[in-house]
Protein backbone atom coordinates (compact mmCIF):
# COMPACT_ATOMS: atom_id res chain seq x y z
CA UNK A 1 0.00 0.00 0.00
CA UNK A 2 1.41 3.38 -1.06
CA UNK A 3 1.57 6.42 1.22
CA UNK A 4 -1.29 8.03 -0.68
CA UNK A 5 -3.44 4.94 -0.25
CA UNK A 6 -2.60 4.81 3.47
CA UNK A 7 -3.67 8.42 3.88
CA UNK A 8 -6.90 7.79 1.97
CA UNK A 9 -7.60 4.72 4.09
CA UNK A 10 -6.94 6.66 7.32
CA UNK A 11 -9.28 9.46 6.23
CA UNK A 12 -12.03 7.02 5.27
CA UNK A 13 -11.64 5.20 8.58
CA UNK A 14 -11.73 8.36 10.72
CA UNK A 15 -13.86 10.61 8.53
CA UNK A 16 -16.33 11.53 11.26
CA UNK A 17 -13.68 12.27 13.87
CA UNK A 18 -11.67 14.39 11.44
CA UNK A 19 -14.78 16.32 10.39
CA UNK A 20 -15.67 17.05 14.00
CA UNK A 21 -12.08 18.16 14.67
CA UNK A 22 -12.07 20.53 11.68
CA UNK A 23 -15.47 21.93 12.70
CA UNK A 24 -14.25 22.46 16.27
CA UNK A 25 -11.16 24.32 15.08
CA UNK A 26 -13.26 26.50 12.75
CA UNK A 27 -15.63 27.38 15.60
CA UNK A 28 -12.68 28.15 17.90
CA UNK A 29 -11.04 30.61 15.51
CA UNK A 30 -14.24 32.18 14.13
CA UNK A 31 -14.46 34.96 16.79
CA UNK A 32 -10.83 35.83 16.06
CA UNK A 33 -11.65 36.39 12.38
CA UNK A 34 -15.10 37.91 12.81
CA UNK A 35 -15.58 40.28 15.74
CA UNK A 36 -18.86 41.88 14.59
CA UNK A 37 -21.33 41.38 17.49
CA UNK A 38 -24.28 41.09 15.08
CA UNK A 39 -22.61 38.38 13.02
CA UNK A 40 -21.58 36.50 16.15
CA UNK A 41 -25.15 36.80 17.39
CA UNK A 42 -26.38 35.08 14.23
CA UNK A 43 -23.79 32.35 14.70
CA UNK A 44 -24.95 31.83 18.28
CA UNK A 45 -28.57 31.65 17.15
CA UNK A 46 -27.63 29.00 14.58
CA UNK A 47 -25.98 26.95 17.35
CA UNK A 48 -29.16 27.14 19.44
CA UNK A 49 -31.25 25.97 16.50
CA UNK A 50 -28.73 23.22 15.75
CA UNK A 51 -29.35 21.74 19.21
CA UNK A 52 -33.11 21.64 18.58
CA UNK A 53 -32.87 20.37 15.01
CA UNK A 54 -30.50 17.56 15.98
CA UNK A 55 -33.08 16.18 18.40
CA UNK A 56 -35.96 16.80 16.03
CA UNK A 57 -34.10 15.03 13.22
CA UNK A 58 -33.79 11.95 15.42
CA UNK A 59 -37.57 11.95 15.76
CA UNK A 60 -38.45 12.83 12.15
CA UNK A 61 -35.55 11.46 10.15
CA UNK A 62 -34.64 8.35 12.13
CA UNK A 63 -37.85 7.40 13.94
CA UNK A 64 -39.93 8.33 10.89
CA UNK A 65 -42.46 10.38 12.88
CA UNK A 66 -43.78 13.92 12.37
CA UNK A 67 -43.72 16.71 14.95
CA UNK A 68 -44.86 20.29 14.50
CA UNK A 69 -44.78 21.08 18.20
CA UNK A 70 -41.13 21.29 19.24
CA UNK A 71 -41.33 25.05 19.61
CA UNK A 72 -43.41 24.28 22.71
CA UNK A 73 -40.52 22.41 24.35
CA UNK A 74 -38.19 25.22 23.24
CA UNK A 75 -40.51 27.68 24.98
CA UNK A 76 -40.85 25.59 28.14
CA UNK A 77 -37.07 25.47 28.50
CA UNK A 78 -36.70 29.23 27.99
CA UNK A 79 -39.53 30.28 30.29
CA UNK A 80 -38.69 27.61 32.88
CA UNK A 81 -35.13 28.90 33.26
CA UNK A 82 -36.25 32.53 33.20
CA UNK A 83 -38.96 32.08 35.85
CA UNK A 84 -36.76 29.90 38.04
CA UNK A 85 -33.79 32.27 38.08
CA UNK A 86 -35.63 35.62 38.12
CA UNK A 87 -38.81 34.97 40.13
CA UNK A 88 -37.42 32.38 42.55
CA UNK A 89 -33.74 33.32 42.62
CA UNK A 90 -32.55 29.79 41.81
CA UNK A 91 -29.00 29.20 40.48
CA UNK A 92 -28.95 29.09 36.70
CA UNK A 93 -27.14 25.82 35.93
CA UNK A 94 -29.15 23.56 38.30
CA UNK A 95 -32.31 25.29 37.07
CA UNK A 96 -31.46 24.44 33.46
CA UNK A 97 -30.96 20.79 34.39
CA UNK A 98 -34.14 20.68 36.49
CA UNK A 99 -36.19 22.35 33.76
CA UNK A 100 -34.84 19.91 31.15
CA UNK A 101 -35.91 16.98 33.36
CA UNK A 102 -39.36 18.50 33.86
CA UNK A 103 -39.73 19.10 30.12
CA UNK A 104 -38.73 15.46 29.56
CA UNK A 105 -41.54 14.41 31.92
CA UNK A 106 -43.98 16.67 30.06
CA UNK A 107 -42.86 15.10 26.77
CA UNK A 108 -43.39 11.65 28.29
CA UNK A 109 -46.89 12.57 29.48
CA UNK A 110 -47.75 14.06 26.09
CA UNK A 111 -46.03 11.34 24.07
CA UNK A 112 -47.72 8.37 25.72
CA UNK A 113 -51.15 9.15 24.20
CA UNK A 114 -50.29 11.05 21.00
CA UNK A 115 -47.58 8.68 19.77
CA UNK A 116 -50.30 6.11 19.25
CA UNK A 117 -51.19 8.30 16.27
CA UNK A 118 -49.30 8.42 12.98
CA UNK A 119 -48.90 10.58 9.93
CA UNK A 120 -51.04 13.70 9.67
CA UNK A 121 -52.88 12.87 12.88
CA UNK A 122 -49.63 12.95 14.84
CA UNK A 123 -48.62 16.20 13.16
CA UNK A 124 -51.93 17.83 14.10
CA UNK A 125 -51.68 16.56 17.69
CA UNK A 126 -48.19 18.00 18.17
CA UNK A 127 -49.27 21.25 16.49
CA UNK A 128 -52.19 21.45 18.90
CA UNK A 129 -49.87 20.99 21.86
CA UNK A 130 -47.69 23.84 20.57
CA UNK A 131 -50.76 26.05 20.21
CA UNK A 132 -51.85 25.31 23.80
CA UNK A 133 -48.40 26.19 25.21
CA UNK A 134 -48.23 29.38 23.14
CA UNK A 135 -51.69 30.43 24.34
CA UNK A 136 -50.68 29.87 27.98
CA UNK A 137 -47.59 32.02 27.49
CA UNK A 138 -49.75 34.80 26.07
CA UNK A 139 -52.53 34.67 28.65
CA UNK A 140 -50.70 33.96 31.92
CA UNK A 141 -49.49 37.54 32.34
CA UNK A 142 -48.60 37.32 36.03
CA UNK A 143 -46.04 34.57 35.46
CA UNK A 144 -44.88 34.81 31.83
CA UNK A 145 -45.31 38.53 31.22
CA UNK A 146 -47.88 37.84 28.50
CA UNK A 147 -47.45 39.54 25.11
CA UNK A 148 -44.98 42.02 26.64
CA UNK A 149 -42.47 39.24 27.21
CA UNK A 150 -40.16 38.35 30.09
CA UNK A 151 -37.13 40.55 30.76
CA UNK A 152 -34.37 40.84 33.33
CA UNK A 153 -32.82 37.40 32.78
CA UNK A 154 -29.21 37.25 33.96
CA UNK A 155 -26.46 35.83 31.72
CA UNK A 156 -24.93 32.48 32.61
CA UNK A 157 -21.71 32.43 34.60
CA UNK A 158 -19.15 30.03 36.04
CA UNK A 159 -17.70 31.37 39.25
CA UNK A 160 -16.91 34.98 38.50
CA UNK A 161 -16.72 34.45 34.73
CA UNK A 162 -19.94 35.64 33.09
CA UNK A 163 -20.97 34.80 29.53
CA UNK A 164 -22.14 38.37 29.07
CA UNK A 165 -21.02 39.14 25.52
CA UNK A 166 -21.32 37.52 22.11
CA UNK A 167 -17.77 36.13 22.02
CA UNK A 168 -18.01 34.39 25.38
CA UNK A 169 -21.45 33.07 24.63
CA UNK A 170 -20.21 31.83 21.25
CA UNK A 171 -17.87 29.37 22.91
CA UNK A 172 -20.50 28.26 25.41
CA UNK A 173 -23.34 27.65 23.00
CA UNK A 174 -21.20 26.02 20.31
CA UNK A 175 -19.62 23.75 22.92
CA UNK A 176 -23.14 22.64 23.82
CA UNK A 177 -24.02 22.19 20.14
CA UNK A 178 -20.90 20.09 19.50
CA UNK A 179 -21.66 17.94 22.55
CA UNK A 180 -25.18 17.33 21.22
CA UNK A 181 -23.72 16.58 17.77
CA UNK A 182 -21.41 13.93 19.23
CA UNK A 183 -24.28 12.48 21.26
CA UNK A 184 -26.46 12.13 18.15
CA UNK A 185 -23.62 10.74 16.00
CA UNK A 186 -22.90 8.04 18.56
CA UNK A 187 -26.60 7.33 19.10
CA UNK A 188 -27.39 6.70 15.42
CA UNK A 189 -24.43 4.32 15.15
CA UNK A 190 -25.51 2.32 18.20
CA UNK A 191 -28.02 -0.49 18.37
CA UNK A 192 -30.68 2.03 19.37
CA UNK A 193 -29.93 4.09 16.26
CA UNK A 194 -30.14 1.06 13.99
CA UNK A 195 -33.49 0.23 15.58
CA UNK A 196 -34.70 3.76 14.87
CA UNK A 197 -33.52 3.50 11.26
CA UNK A 198 -35.48 0.27 10.89
CA UNK A 199 -38.50 1.99 12.43
CA UNK A 200 -38.31 4.80 9.88
CA UNK A 201 -38.02 2.33 7.01
CA UNK A 202 -40.92 0.06 7.92
CA UNK A 203 -42.53 0.02 11.37
CA UNK A 204 -44.13 -3.39 10.87
CA UNK A 205 -40.86 -4.96 9.71
CA UNK A 206 -38.98 -3.34 12.60
CA UNK A 207 -41.48 -4.78 15.08
CA UNK A 208 -41.12 -8.19 13.46
CA UNK A 209 -37.35 -7.97 13.96
CA UNK A 210 -37.79 -7.37 17.68
CA UNK A 211 -37.72 -3.57 17.89
CA UNK A 212 -40.11 -2.25 20.54
CA UNK A 213 -41.44 0.47 18.25
CA UNK A 214 -43.66 2.22 20.77
CA UNK A 215 -40.92 2.45 23.40
CA UNK A 216 -38.39 3.61 20.80
CA UNK A 217 -40.68 6.40 19.60
CA UNK A 218 -41.34 7.59 23.14
CA UNK A 219 -37.64 7.56 24.08
CA UNK A 220 -36.54 9.58 21.06
CA UNK A 221 -39.46 11.98 21.51
CA UNK A 222 -38.42 12.64 25.12
CA UNK A 223 -34.75 13.03 24.12
CA UNK A 224 -35.62 15.55 21.41
CA UNK A 225 -37.75 17.50 23.91
CA UNK A 226 -34.89 17.62 26.42
CA UNK A 227 -32.53 18.98 23.75
CA UNK A 228 -35.12 21.61 22.80
CA UNK A 229 -35.42 22.58 26.48
CA UNK A 230 -31.63 22.97 26.73
CA UNK A 231 -31.66 25.21 23.66
CA UNK A 232 -34.49 27.27 25.16
CA UNK A 233 -32.58 27.83 28.41
CA UNK A 234 -29.48 28.93 26.48
CA UNK A 235 -31.62 31.26 24.37
CA UNK A 236 -33.16 32.90 27.44
CA UNK A 237 -29.80 33.54 29.13
CA UNK A 238 -28.18 34.67 25.89
CA UNK A 239 -30.73 37.30 24.87
CA UNK A 240 -31.93 38.03 28.44
CA UNK A 241 -35.42 38.63 27.07
CA UNK A 242 -38.02 36.24 25.70
CA UNK A 243 -41.51 36.68 24.29
CA UNK A 244 -44.23 34.29 23.08
CA UNK A 245 -43.77 35.39 19.46
CA UNK A 246 -40.43 33.56 19.36
CA UNK A 247 -42.17 30.26 20.10
CA UNK A 248 -45.33 30.46 18.00
CA UNK A 249 -46.69 27.88 15.57
CA UNK A 250 -44.57 29.26 12.72
CA UNK A 251 -41.46 28.58 14.79
CA UNK A 252 -42.46 24.90 14.97
CA UNK A 253 -42.87 24.72 11.20
CA UNK A 254 -39.53 26.47 10.67
CA UNK A 255 -37.83 23.82 12.82
CA UNK A 256 -39.41 21.06 10.74
CA UNK A 257 -38.30 22.86 7.56
CA UNK A 258 -34.73 22.96 8.88
CA UNK A 259 -34.84 19.18 9.26
CA UNK A 260 -36.25 18.66 5.77
CA UNK A 261 -33.86 21.11 4.09
CA UNK A 262 -30.82 19.61 5.79
CA UNK A 263 -31.96 16.08 5.06
CA UNK A 264 -34.14 13.74 7.06
CA UNK A 265 -31.88 11.21 8.72
CA UNK A 266 -28.74 13.31 8.15
CA UNK A 267 -27.06 14.45 11.37
CA UNK A 268 -24.64 16.71 9.50
CA UNK A 269 -27.51 18.05 7.43
CA UNK A 270 -29.08 19.38 10.63
CA UNK A 271 -26.27 21.94 10.87
CA UNK A 272 -26.76 23.00 7.27
CA UNK A 273 -30.55 23.23 7.55
CA UNK A 274 -30.40 25.32 10.73
CA UNK A 275 -27.78 27.62 9.25
CA UNK A 276 -29.50 28.07 5.89
CA UNK A 277 -32.96 28.89 7.22
CA UNK A 278 -31.51 31.25 9.85
CA UNK A 279 -29.35 33.14 7.36
CA UNK A 280 -31.75 33.36 4.41
CA UNK A 281 -33.51 36.50 5.70
CA UNK A 282 -30.11 38.12 6.20
CA UNK A 283 -28.98 37.42 2.65
CA UNK A 284 -32.06 38.58 0.74
CA UNK A 285 -34.58 41.13 2.06
CA UNK A 286 -37.54 39.42 0.37
CA UNK A 287 -37.01 36.38 2.61
CA UNK A 288 -37.54 38.58 5.67
CA UNK A 289 -40.68 40.23 4.28
CA UNK A 290 -42.31 37.05 2.98
CA UNK A 291 -40.51 34.56 5.21
CA UNK A 292 -43.41 32.15 5.75
CA UNK A 293 -44.26 31.99 2.03
CA UNK A 294 -40.63 31.52 1.00
CA UNK A 295 -40.04 28.81 3.59
CA UNK A 296 -43.17 27.00 2.45
CA UNK A 297 -42.10 27.24 -1.19
CA UNK A 298 -38.62 25.90 -0.39
CA UNK A 299 -40.17 23.02 1.54
CA UNK A 300 -42.48 22.10 -1.37
CA UNK A 301 -39.65 22.24 -3.93
CA UNK A 302 -37.35 20.10 -1.80
CA UNK A 303 -40.06 17.51 -1.15
CA UNK A 304 -40.90 17.40 -4.88
CA UNK A 305 -37.39 17.12 -6.31
CA UNK A 306 -35.22 15.99 -3.37
CA UNK A 307 -37.57 14.11 -1.01
CA UNK A 308 -34.64 12.94 1.15
CA UNK A 309 -33.76 16.54 1.89
CA UNK A 310 -31.52 19.08 0.20
CA UNK A 311 -28.13 17.95 1.52
CA UNK A 312 -28.89 14.21 1.52
CA UNK A 313 -30.41 14.45 -1.95
CA UNK A 314 -27.47 16.36 -3.41
CA UNK A 315 -24.96 13.94 -1.87
CA UNK A 316 -26.85 10.95 -3.27
CA UNK A 317 -27.09 12.60 -6.70
CA UNK A 318 -23.32 13.24 -6.77
CA UNK A 319 -22.57 9.68 -5.62
CA UNK A 320 -24.84 8.23 -8.29
CA UNK A 321 -23.26 10.28 -11.07
CA UNK A 322 -19.74 9.40 -9.94
CA UNK A 323 -20.63 5.71 -9.85
CA UNK A 324 -22.12 5.90 -13.35
CA UNK A 325 -19.04 7.71 -14.61
CA UNK A 326 -16.70 5.09 -13.11
CA UNK A 327 -18.79 2.32 -14.64
CA UNK A 328 -18.70 4.05 -18.03
CA UNK A 329 -14.92 4.51 -17.84
CA UNK A 330 -14.43 0.87 -16.81
CA UNK A 331 -16.57 -0.30 -19.73
CA UNK A 332 -14.58 1.88 -22.11
pLDDT of amino acid 231: 95
Burial label for 41, CB within 10 Å (0-12, 13-18, 19+), is: middle
d(CA 115, CA 135): 23
Number of Cα atoms under 13 Å in the Cβ half of residue 17: 5
Domain ranges of the chain: 33-331
From first to last of the 332 residues of the chain, give the pLDDT tens digit. Answer: 676 666 666 666 677 778 888 889 999 999 888 878 888 989 999 999 999 999 999 998 888 788 888 999 999 999 999 999 999 989 999 999 999 999 999 999 999 999 888 778 888 899 899 999 999 999 988 888 888 889 889 999 888 888 888 899 999 999 999 999 999 988 888 877 777 777 777 777 777 777 777 888 899 999 999 999 999 999 999 988 999 988 988 888 889 888 888 888 788 888 988 998 888 777 766 555 666 666 667 666 666 666 666 667 777 777 778 778 878 777 76
C-alpha 154, offset from chain centre: 24
Contacts from 24-27 at CB under 8 Å and sequence distance 24+?
A: 24/178, 27/170, 27/174, 27/178
**Is the full-model pTM beyond 0.85?**
yes
In eight-state DSSP terms, residue 248 is S
CB atoms near residue 21 (< 10 Å): 11
Do 79 and 193 touch, CB atoms closer than 8 A?
no
Q: How far is CA 58 from CA 9, 197, 248, 268, 312, in A?
A: 29, 9, 22, 12, 15
Q: Give the other-Cβ count within 10 Å of 47's Cβ.
A: 27
Annotation: CATH topology of 33-331: ABC transporter involved in vitamin B12 uptake, BtuC (1.10.3470)
C-alpha 115/C-alpha 108 separation (Å) is 10
Q: Cα separation of 262 and 312, whole Å? A: 7
Answer positive or negative: Cα dihedral of 108, 109, 110, 114: positive
Helix or strand run (H / E) with residue 241? strand 241-242
The model's pLDDT over 218-255, given as tens digits with 9 standing for 90+, comes to: 999 999 999 999 999 999 999 889 999 889 888 888 89
Closest of 181, 299, 287 to residue 231, by C-alpha: 181
Amino acid sequence: MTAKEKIAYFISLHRTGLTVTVLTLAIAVYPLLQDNPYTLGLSNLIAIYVIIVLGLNLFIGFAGQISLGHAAFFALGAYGSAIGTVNFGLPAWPTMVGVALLVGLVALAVGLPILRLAGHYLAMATLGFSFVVHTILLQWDDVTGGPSGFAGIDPLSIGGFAFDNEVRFHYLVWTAALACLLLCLNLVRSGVGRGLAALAGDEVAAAALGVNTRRAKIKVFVLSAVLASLAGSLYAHCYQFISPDTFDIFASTDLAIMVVIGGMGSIWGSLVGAGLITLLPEWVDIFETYKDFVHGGILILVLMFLPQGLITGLVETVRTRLALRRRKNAAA
